[in-house]
Structure 1
Amino acid sequence: MANLRQAKTDAELRTMTITNVKKAYSNLAEDYNRLLDLEFIYCPHCGKWKSIKASNFYSSNDTVDGIEHFACKECILNMCTDKNKDGSRSDNKEKTINTFRKLDWCFIEDDYDKQLVKTTEAVNEKVRSTAAQQLIVMVQSLPQYNGKNFSNSEFNDSTDGSLSYKRKPRKEIVKLFGSGLSNEDYLYLQDQYDDWCERTQVDSKSQQTYIVRICFKLLDIWKAQKSSKDTTKLDESLNKLMDAANLQPRQNVGNAATDALTFSQLIEKWEQEKPIPEPDPEFKDCDGIGKYIRVWFKGALSHALGLEGGYSKEYEDYVSQYAVTKPEEQDLDEKSESIYSQIFGDESQK
């Protein structure tokens, strides 16, 4: 980085000797000549004059006032990545795509994803710290990128059928998680939140608050893993949140979600989510309790009330199996009549 020397003020000139004035003028003229020779370029983003010979700018193949006068190398990387608290960078695909669009550079998503894997695994000592840096070098050096601009970019289809960089989070997600996050962060939080809500019952404010905090923590872990950082403390914090929300795998996940439900609401919930299946015919009412209730409770009551058909008929059919009916009179001999009279009584005396 170079800071241009400024002209001396009148007060400073009064205290200087002729020799020092000549020297100051010579230094100022030297900087001026370097500006004319484009050795120093002003970055409009950071507001600093920087030497082009110190690799502070990406080169331009079009004009002398091309990419060099858009932003310095550091500012372009800032536009493509996220800055972590420790000063390191982490990749942000959405920011990289937007920056490439502004610079009219060709963006090949497959190449970017491959560089992202390399930087995560750190398999090569020459691999730069971010996939964006790797891709920019490829765009400026590889022949397959020559003569191509952003209109020649290639994107992979996302799961919902739209281009991944065009996906936008829902308005309620932005409101729920707060403003100031990148589009990629919102999409990650949205996917995690929807997944949690589908697998657990979130029907209270406290439960929703814990789910939101868990999603934020998962986002931090995801970013740390992309940067090959240790996630031990983040994992411990996540475990504490899940423990407080009663969502640990060892815990009964349904407790926190169903404590506020009444017994009738629980029965309705279970009938809708996990209804009792119909038994096989061989096991259906194997002890006859169902038929017992229909015949001797419902059927007997229906018969007593004079209701015909239905349970009453089932009751009458069942009772008829054990009822004794008087046989029809036929030609009986005296012995048979005597036995009949002993059993049923003498008809003449009735």
Structure 2
Amino acid sequence: MATQKIMCSCCGKVQVPTQFYKSESLFTAATGKLTVCKTCLQTEYKKDPENLKHVQNILRMIDRPFIYDIWTASIEEAKTKSKNGDANVFGVYMKNIGMKDFISKNWSDSEYDFKDDQEHTTKMLLAKSNEDVTPEDIEEFIQFWGRGLSVEDYLWLQNEYIDFTNRYECDSKGMELLINQICLTMLDIRKRRENGEKVDQQQKTLQDLLGSSNLKPVQESGASGVEQETFGTLIKKYENERPIPEPEPRWKDPDKIGKYIKVFFLGHLSRMLGIKNEYSEEYWSEMQKHTVEEPVDDEEDEVTENGLIQ
């Protein structure tokens, strides 16, 4: 019985099944092959082989996964197999993801390079947000809270986390993780309520997390309450976690201690060493305020060569 041929959906040619890559997609179940032939895929790849986004677009259109580690391994494998330097990287990659561990995967199972994916996610979030945040802020949010949230969600979570850490002592990694999960659970409850969904299970999870972290009102001990109200403890927290902002000019150096050090120590030392800087200039400016100059009369007595006063 003759092998049933397949028509390529790109070039329209009817070819034998070996000219098509394997596929276990539900939409190719009749043939078990992709609908685009190997030649058309290779032609499209060669249009811009150095552009990784171009490769990803091809794989997305045929619903096959892009797995960064396999792609890099395929590049090295193609180099070793190439005799004249014309490495068929795309063909090697399609062969590798056709193995049993990857044949059932599709585009939604893609695994990107972390740095490349991070930059892409950051750009998308910034483009969708009207908030005044920087790319560095977005990267920190993703690292701490995970992916898949909007900028507004990240900001809400961050504000809640700061509120918790300002009210309660958070001096261990375990406590940070618990507060992190508490905030995420609170966000989940908030979103479910907005959609009219039940939140019984989420509320139970929240209660368990609060109990594990001793943050329930009934668990707050007297020592914990006193510690929150201690001025020294608050200063320590502010200096370690949230630095105190710059004071008003009138409170920066009320006792002039900083000025004394800059003028009479750093300024005088700079003068001795012959260094001209802001300290030496400030030193001379201050010295002029305390320098008394000898007055000079306009009509001074003139002395002749013989020593006689005229």
Q: What TM-score does the superposition give when structure 2 sets the normalisation length?
A: 0.33
Q: What TM-score does the superposition give when structure 1 sets the normalisation length?
A: 0.30
Select the structure of larger CA radius of gyration: 1
